[in-house]
Amino acid sequence: MRTFLKVIGGLVVLGIIALLAIIFVPVQRTPAQTALADDWQPEEGHGEYAMRLSDCMACHTEEGGEPFAGNRAIESPLGTIYSTNITPDEETGIGGWSLADFRAALYDGVRPDGTHLYPAMPYENFRHITEEDVRAMYDYFMNEVEPVNQQVEETALSFPFDQRWGLRLWKWVALDDPGFVPEYDDPVLARGEYIVEGPGHCSACHSPRNTVMAQAGLQAGDPEFLAGGEIAGWTAPPLRGPQSAVRGWSEEDIAMILGTGRNAHAALNGEMQLVARDSSQYFTDEDLGAVAAFLVGLNDDVEPVAEDPGETETERLLASASPDMGLGARLYIDNCNACHFVDGRGADEVFPELAGNSLVTAESPRGLLTMILGGSQLPSTALRPYRLQMPGFGQRLDDEEVAALASFLRSGWGNSAAAVDAATVADTRASLE
Amino acid sequence: MARTDPKKEVVIVGLGWTGSILGIELAKEGLDILALERGPDRSTVPDFQYPNVIDELKYGIRYGFMQKPRNSTITVRRTLDETALPMRKLGSFLPGDGVGGAGIHWNGQTWRPMAEEFRLRSYVEENFGADLIDEEMTIQDWGVSYEELEPYFDRFEYMAGIAGQAGNINGEIQPGGNPFEAPRSRGYPMPPMPEQTDMRLFREAASAMGYHPFPRPAANATQAYTNEYGMQLGPCNYCGFCERYGCINYSKSSPQTCILDALKRYENFSYRVNSEVLRVNLAADGQTATGVTYWDEEAQEEVTQPADMVILAAYQLHNVHLMLLSGIGEPYNPQTGEGVTGKNYSYQMNGGTTLFFRDHNFNPFAAAGSSGVSIDDFAINQIDFATEGFIGGSYITAGLSNGQPIRGISLPEGTPGWGAEWKQAIGEWYGHSMSIGSHGSNMAYRDCYLDLDPTYTDRHGRPLMRMTFDWKANDIRMTQFMRRQIEPIAQSMNPDSWRSSYKSEGARYDIRPYQTTHNVGGAIMGTDPNTSAVNRYLQAWGQHNVFVLGAGAFPQNIQYNPTGAVGALAYWAADAIVNDYLPDPRPLV
């Protein structure tokens, strides 16, 4: 018995020591992955471009706020996280940070004082950013961004998520090796892979989360990489596999939607609109092409969608204008048909296709319901400035009607997603209010 | 209360078609621009959102998108010896207000005038003798030729995304198009709208009589389209709510669908709504404008806005009003014929025949504003004015723009206007009528003009503008001629009955029934400062930093809807400003 207590006591002491160590022993920072000369200087525009690739702006800028001054509320499953001020302001921003401090935030998710950053900051992906891009971004933030003195709202998650030291344990599980080693020899594909896996941090939304809420795939070779996720009530659709949102799309289609928010098939919705607004519309044509080539490559094993399926049963039903058609079909004619038409194929770059649309057929109907209830407005981009907007129909349709309409869309024109019930609509409606 | 705001390089008065075109073309040059719009801001969502805007009572009858006479109106009289009275209710024409202006609530018919129309006086004198133009008729040449404007028509049509069938490409006649049109450098950017039943019946009848039917050029998109600014249109769905409504569907060309979001990306461009310009301020010597003064509705104060250049891009009536109030050009005097501002106000002479068919169902609820078939066999360049005894012409056209229940149902002659019989007739005839219209020119006359009213003032204390206008025998002869062409076509279609409505001898102008919002003239362009208010680049003769856009520049009215010419002139003027005026600001002529 005594021995047992001793053992227990010993274990407790060890545990405490380990815990204290986890909390107080400074994190070993990941060093630069490439040795660059001390006098290495980025080319003009490199830093800003690397920032665009990494989309720092969308999260670190409040709607209507000063660029990079933080305070944007990011809804996470753990609670609301407020983004930080990353302007070079000495007091409230990152003005006092060294290059090593900056790199540690990107690679290891730690602040200079050792505080762990919540993984809303996608250091799982930013670990793969090259040293050149890190240095260029550091230079950009320190020398080109206007300092803004703004204290941001403190992030106050509930217990146990407020115990940031626990993130150290999480990182042991979640983080993979730093640096970037491409799967592809082809320089275009490798460039695309780099942008997608590293700065572009596509996987942060488009990969599912595993049991500890880490990204279930970080690299092209991981089967769960870009296999689909969910963010802020919207679907971040799979970008590979049988449900791939880009199934059958050409490289031009993908480059177009990233560059302008719209293409011949679909329009960006939800959080992805911010990506086009602040990040991907600024990509060079070469980089858009590289990302597109990489994503098309990820989908080369997927059965493409038939370009023209001919007249479908759904189209015949709608065109019959029969008063006997079901509620969902009737609501479609009364509310949706004007733009999306009886064939569910809309019009290139203006009215998205509903047939095979990943938002419509997503496993979770929430994104679709959010769209029907609240509508959506495309961002203005240089190539396509029009902020085309679908109005919300939440005022016009009750929960039963939205459920019937959504179920019709999810089963029309060859779509085969599960029906939606009114309770799910009510739930989604409540979350929008 | 009053304030003075920091100087701008350009101030644009009005943010409709012309204000938007000048705005974006000058914004590209990096100029610091402020546009002032007297009405509210307007966007497809929420202002034209489905289904809210599909409301005939609110927008069709109660003029939801139009100016309110209590805020802005004119006085009207028909002859010099009448006393003008304020128009307290809109009727004959419907000027809009708000961002997009009339560009949001038009039907979308987008024509090019005939080459002959740009030099009408010369054309008549050369071909029929100067005697044909009597002293009272004050028609003029425009000072710019069709050939000069062709690239700008092309630019406007490709920017706005017009659906149509060319009839003459570089002199080669195209099958299915208008063989009488002036040559265009290429076809329309979109295929024409498909043919509906009434269109087919008219086309067949017109063809059988040897005429040359062609689809109307339409600013209603027939396919997805992206223009030079990257702005987009989606295909029209034939909802039947074009004129008086904003388009629910991104299908009707408008400043909103074609320009504004692209324009708003320029950081050197800004605009203020609910800001009505009261006058253009001139320098002490009167030779240049120093900016404008406007009423800031939100702040409830007058604002002085200094600017290097002033672009008047309001509706025709308001541009002329501002010129009269600001001393831009000498006001026209009908007694002496001297003065230029307000001169040659003219309108549009229209008529039509309605046909009733028991056996045809035209489904008028599935319609678009510009869907239709026309013939130009009686157009200005096809008529022997000396033989026929008038100057002018019309296009003749069939097409149903809507099947709206309050205004859109025609009933045969003799049907009571109310009660059980009316009700029964509505049931019997809805969808069974079509019409053949004549859309005709209107000449300019010595005593048809605009000036400041001696008695009535607006809410800002400014004199109202006075319109003196009446129908004249020449134009009535023209429309009666058209009647004689249309009725045989109608009869050849074997309707169960038909009724005609054309102005006949002695007809007087009546501002109550809607006729058309094609008010033109008053700020006419030309080559002589003694007979025109602006030069061939739409630059004020007396103040070189003032440009006056819009249909006010037409020296008399064309036989077509004005927007095509308004758009081409806007690009023509923008080109002159950018390439000629900005490098060396001065009178361009």
Minimal Cα–Cα distance from A393 to chain B, Å?
9
Strands A79-82, A73-76: pairing is antiparallel
Q: Is A128 assigned to a binding site? A: no
Q: What is the pLDDT of residues B532-560, one digit of tens each?
A: 999 999 999 999 999 999 999 999 999 99
Strand partners, B85: B76
CB B22 within 8 A of CB B12: yes
The C-alpha atoms of residue A195 and residue A220 are separated, in whole angstroms, by 12
B115: left (phi over 0), alpha (psi -120 to 50) or beta: alpha
Minimal Cα–Cα distance from A130 to chain B, Å?
33
Hey, CA dihedral for B372, B106, B345, B455, is it positive or negative?
A: positive
Q: Which three-class secondary structure state does DSSP give residue B467?
A: strand
Q: What is the pLDDT of residues A176-186, one digit of tens each?
A: 999 999 999 99
**Domain spanning A313-432: CATH superfamily:** Cytochrome c-like domain (1.10.760.10)
Q: Which three-class secondary structure state does DSSP give residue A231?
A: strand
Of B116, B114, B71, the closest CA to residue B90 belongs to B71
A209: left (phi over 0), alpha (psi -120 to 50) or beta: beta
* Non-local CB neighbours of A37 within 8 Å, separated by 6+ positions: none
Q: Name the residue among A335, A339, A377 with its Cβ closest to that of B234.
A: A339
Identified catalytic residue from B318, B321, B432, B518? B518
Q: Which CATH number fits domain B7-47+96-106+115-581: 3.30.2390.10, 2.40.40.20, 3.50.50.60, 3.40.50.920?
A: 3.50.50.60
Minimal Cα–Cα distance from B51 to chain A, Å?
8
> Does residue B183 carry a pLDDT above 90?
yes
What is the pLDDT averaged over residues B504-526?
97
Q: Which residue of B53, B239, B250, B264 is the best one to mutate when testing the A interface, meaning the one whose CB has the most A CBs within 10 A? A: B250
Q: B224 and A382: CB-CB below 8 Å? A: no
The C-alpha atoms of residue B17 and residue A357 are separated, in whole angstroms, by 36
Per-domain boundaries in chain B: 7-47+96-106+115-581
Instruction: Name the strand (E) or helix (H) holding A79.
Output: strand A79-82
Minimal Cα–Cα distance from B100 to chain A, Å?
15
Q: Is A336 assigned to a binding site? A: yes
Fold classified for A187-298: Cytochrome Bc1 Complex; Chain D, domain 2 (1.10.760)
Minimal Cα–Cα distance from A335 to chain B, Å?
8
CB B227 within 8 A of CB B431: no
Q: B230 and A384: CB-CB below 8 Å? A: yes
Q: A384 and B229: CB-CB below 8 Å? A: no
What is the pLDDT averaged over residues B492-510?
97
- Give me Rg for the CA atoms of chain B: 23
What is the pLDDT averaged over residues B163-186?
98
Confidence of residue B589 (pLDDT cuts 50, 70, 90): very high
SS3 content of chain A, % helix, strand, coil (to 5): 40, 5, 50
Of B104, B418, B403, the closest CA to residue B250 belongs to B104
Q: Is B366 on the interface with A (CB under 8 A)?
A: no
Q: What is the pLDDT of residues B345-387, one digit of tens each?
A: 999 999 999 999 999 999 999 999 999 999 999 999 999 999 9
What is the pLDDT averaged over residues B275-283?
98
- Work out the mean pLDDT of chain B and round it to a whole number: 97
pLDDT for the residue numbered A307: 63
Q: Is A201 assigned to a binding site? A: no
Nearest-5° angle of CA B96, CA A391, CA B161? 55
Q: What is the pLDDT of residues B311-337, one digit of tens each?
A: 999 999 999 999 999 999 999 999 999
The rounded Cα A73 to chain-centroid distance in angstroms is 15
Counted across chains A and B, CB pairs separated by less than 8 A come out at: 63
pLDDT for the residue numbered B471: 98
Q: Which residue of A lies nearest to B223 if distances are taken between CA atoms?
A: A347
Strands B301-312, B546-548: pairing is parallel
The contact set of A with B (CB < 8 A) is: 335, 337-339, 341, 346-351, 375, 377, 380, 382-391, 396
Hey, CA dihedral for A218, A223, A225, A231, is it positive or negative?
A: negative
- Work out the mean pLDDT of chain A and round it to a whole number: 93
Q: C-alpha distances in angstroms, B156 versus B220, B268, B517, B560? A: 14, 23, 20, 16
> Does residue A70 carry a pLDDT above 80?
yes
Tokens of residue A203, six digits: 């996987």
pLDDT for the residue numbered A305: 65
> Does residue A280 carry a pLDDT above 90?
yes
Q: Which residue of B lies nearest to A348 if distances are taken between CA atoms?
A: B224
Q: Is A265 assigned to a binding site? A: no
SS3 content of chain B, % helix, strand, coil (to 5): 25, 20, 50
Residues of A in contact with B231 (CB under 8 A): 385-386
Q: Is A116 assigned to a binding site? A: no
Q: Name the residue among B46, B239, B250 with its Cβ closest to that of A388.
A: B250
Q: Is B264 on the interface with A (CB under 8 A)?
A: yes
Q: What is the pLDDT of residues B417-461, one digit of tens each?
A: 999 999 999 999 999 999 999 999 999 999 999 999 999 999 999
Q: Which residue of B lies nearest to A334 if distances are taken between CA atoms?
A: B51
Q: A384 and B232: CB-CB below 8 Å? A: yes
Q: B224 and A348: CB-CB below 8 Å? A: yes
Q: What is the pLDDT of residues A293-331, one digit of tens each?
A: 999 999 988 776 666 667 899 999 999 989 899 999 999
The C-alpha atoms of residue B133 and residue A310 are separated, in whole angstroms, by 62
Confidence of residue B246 (pLDDT cuts 50, 70, 90): very high
Tell me which amino acid residue B169 is. Answer: I
Minimal Cα–Cα distance from A337 to chain B, Å?
9
pLDDT for the residue numbered A306: 63
Tokens of residue A292, six digits: 């597109």
Residues of B in contact with A386 (CB under 8 A): 230-232, 257, 261-262
The C-alpha atoms of residue B339 and residue B531 are separated, in whole angstroms, by 7
> Does residue B213 carry a pLDDT above 90?
yes
The C-alpha atoms of residue B240 and residue B224 are separated, in whole angstroms, by 19
Q: Which residue of A350, A372, A383, A393 is the best one to mutate when testing the B interface, meaning the one whose CB has the most B CBs within 10 A? A: A350
Residues of A in contact with B190 (CB under 8 A): none
pLDDT for the residue numbered A234: 83
Kindly report the backbone phi and psi dihedral angles of residue A94, in degrees, each rounded to the nearest multiple of 5, phi listed first.
Answer: -110, 25
Q: What is the pLDDT of residues B28-47, one digit of tens each?
A: 999 999 999 999 999 999 99
Of B197, B557, B133, the closest CA to residue B345 belongs to B557
Minimal Cα–Cα distance from B24 to chain A, Å?
13
Q: Which residue of A lies nearest to B262 if distances are taken between CA atoms?
A: A385
> Does residue B1 carry a pLDDT above 80?
no
Q: Which residues of A58-92 are buried (b: 16+ CB within 10 A; e: fewer)?
A: bbbbbeebbebbbbbebebebeebbbbbbbbbeeb
Q: A348 and B51: CB-CB below 8 Å? A: no
Q: B235 and A388: CB-CB below 8 Å? A: no
Judge whether B518 counts as a catalytic residue. Answer: yes
Q: Name the residue among B43, B223, B237 with its Cβ closest to that of A338.
A: B237
Q: Is B232 on the interface with A (CB under 8 A)?
A: yes
The C-alpha atoms of residue B167 and residue B157 are separated, in whole angstroms, by 15
- Any idea which residue has 């071909």 for tokens? B127
Q: Which residue of B lies nearest to A352 if distances are taken between CA atoms?
A: B234
Of B118, B117, B540, B112, the closest CA to residue B319 belongs to B540
Q: Is B237 on the interface with A (CB under 8 A)?
A: yes
What is the pLDDT averaged over residues B84-96?
97
Q: Is B234 on the interface with A (CB under 8 A)?
A: yes
What is the pLDDT averaged over residues A409-415?
95
Length reported for chain A: 433
Q: Is A60 assigned to a binding site? A: yes
Q: Is B190 on the interface with A (CB under 8 A)?
A: no
